[in-house]
């Protein structure tokens, strides 16, 4: 974990070159990363640096450069179609959910697509991750879809796998994802919930960066199974054993939300053709698509 240097109010005003009154205005509106300890406001310097660099506020009318028109984070077939269909001009950089959030903090992507998992209620895992990040203090989370995740298996399910525990017991070769990827976090959680150790898995060689990469490895016989979305199984002709439904959300800065690229994407999400395409893929619930889940 990163060690923070905490600045006092006097030190923060000098560091930011702001008047104390302005600093307190930012504190009162929740616009600046800070914490209160024994009645004193403290400001983590590293978080202040990210706050400035990512344009979380524009004091004095100065605006930071917009991030590149890229959606980082997790891959999803419906999102890929929506980006293309909307004519938004957004590009996709699919490296996993946590990598997308990290790039969003560094102002390297305009949007992060995430589906995080951990201890507790997965319904709020995405919200909790954004709330806990000082570098994401001026962001919104827009719901994109709830989607079905499960085991991707070879055509015809040649090993006759019924569920996760069965796949482990049969020593099926699992395709693993990179650290911080939503699918890998989900696999870890499902194993823990089932009382299975990660060491019990028979892991295939290498790491698969996206769901389609995993699907191609299963189709070629390199591995037997892995965690992925139903839509990925459908588009690659694979069998699918459903396990859970999850939240797939888009995280972005408030300023970016009003830019033409983001607006083009969200306008498409509100149309009937988006719902029809989701139904054609299968494994999506888009009844709350486009809704604000968090306005931080």
What digits encode the pLDDT tens for the residues 58-85? 444 445 578 999 999 999 999 999 999 9
Q: Tell if the pTM clears 0.85, that is, is over it.
A: no
Is 53 domain-assigned? Answer: yes
Two tokens, residue 175: 């395709």
**Is residue 186 predicted with pLDDT exceeding 50?**
yes
Residue 212 domain flag: yes
Residue 253 covered by a domain: yes
Same domain, 34 and 111: no
Token pair 């569920």: residue: 163
Look at residue 26 in the predicted model and tell me its pLDDT.
87
Q: What percent of the chain has pLDDT over 70?
A: 94
Evaluate whether residue 1 is within a structural domain. no
What pLDDT is recorded for position 252? 97
Whether residue 230 is contained in a domain is answered as yes
Q: Answer yes or no: do 11 and 100 share one domain.
A: no
| pLDDT category of residue 1 using cuts at 50, 70 and 90 | very low
- Confidence at residue 50, expressed as pLDDT on a 0 to 100 scale: 66
Domain of 144 in residue numbering reads as: 68-296
**Do 43 and 147 share a domain, yes or no?**
no
pLDDT of residue 48: 80
Strand partners, 36: 41
Buried b (16+ CB within 10 A) or exposed e, 136-170: bbbbbbbbbbbbbbbbbbbeebebebeebeebbee
181 contacts 72 by C-beta, under 8 angstroms: no
Whether residues 161 and 274 share a domain: the answer is yes
Q: Looking at the structure, do residues 155 and 55 belong to the same domain, yes or no?
A: no
Tell me if 112 sits within 8 A of 136, measured CB to CB.
no
Q: Give the residue carrying structure tokens 């299968």.
A: 282
Assess whether pLDDT exceeds 60 at residue 147: yes
pLDDT (mean) for 242-252: 97
Domain termination residue (choose one: 61, 80, 108): 61
Q: Which of 116, 107, 162 is nearest to 136 (CA)?
A: 107
Three-state DSSP class for residue 232: helix
Q: Which of 47-56, 111-120, 222-231 is predicted with the least confidence, judged by mean pLDDT? A: 47-56
Kindly state whether residue 280 falls inside one of the protein's structural domains.
yes
> Which residues are within 8 A (CB) of 295 and not within 5 positions of it... i.e. 6 or more apart?
140, 254
Domain count, the chain: 2
Q: Are residues 187 and 204 in the same domain?
A: yes
Give yes or no: residues 119 and 11 share one domain: no
| Same domain? 56 vs 192 | no
Q: What confidence category does residue 29 fall into, taking pLDDT thresholds of 50, 70 and 90?
A: confident
Decide which of 36, 61, 86 is a domain's last residue. 61
What is d(CA 92, CA 127) in angstroms, rounded to the nearest whole number?
A: 22
């Amino acid at each position: 974990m990163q060690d923070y240097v905490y600045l006092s109010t006097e030190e923060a005003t000098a560091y930011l070159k702001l008047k104390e009154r302005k600093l307190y205005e930012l504190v009162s509106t929740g616009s600046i990363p800070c914490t209160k300890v024994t009645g004193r406001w403290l400001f983590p310097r590293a978080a202040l640096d990210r706050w400035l660099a990512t344009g979380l506020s524009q004091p004095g009318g100065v605006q930071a450069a917009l991030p590149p028109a890229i959606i980082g984070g997790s891959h999803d077939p419906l999102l890929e179609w929506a980006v293309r269909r909307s004519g938004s001009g957004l590009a996709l950089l699919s490296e996993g959910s946590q990598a997308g959030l990290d790039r969003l903090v560094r102002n390297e992507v305009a949007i992060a697509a995430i589906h995080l998992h951990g201890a507790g209620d997965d319904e709020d895992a995405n919200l909790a991750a954004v709330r806990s990040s000082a570098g994401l203090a001026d962001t919104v989370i827009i719901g994109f879809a709830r989607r079905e995740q499960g085991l991707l298996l070879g055509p015809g399910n040649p090993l006759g796998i019924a569920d996760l525990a069965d796949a482990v017991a049969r020593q099926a070769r699992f395709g693993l994802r990179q650290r911080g990827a939503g699918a890998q976090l989900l696999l870890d959680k499902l194993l823990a919930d089932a009382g299975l150790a990660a060491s019990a898995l028979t892991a295939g060689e290498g790491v698969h960066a996206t769901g389609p990469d995993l699907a191609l490895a299963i189709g070629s016989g390199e591995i037997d199974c892995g965690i992925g979305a139903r839509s990925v199984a459908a588009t690659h002709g694979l069998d699918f054993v459903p396990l859970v439904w999850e939240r797939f959300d888009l995280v972005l800065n408030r300023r970016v939300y009003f830019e033409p690229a983001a607006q083009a994407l969200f306008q498409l999400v509100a149309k009937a053709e988006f719902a029809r395409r989701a139904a054609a893929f299968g494994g999506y619930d888009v009844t709350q698509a486009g809704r604000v889940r968090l306005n931080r």
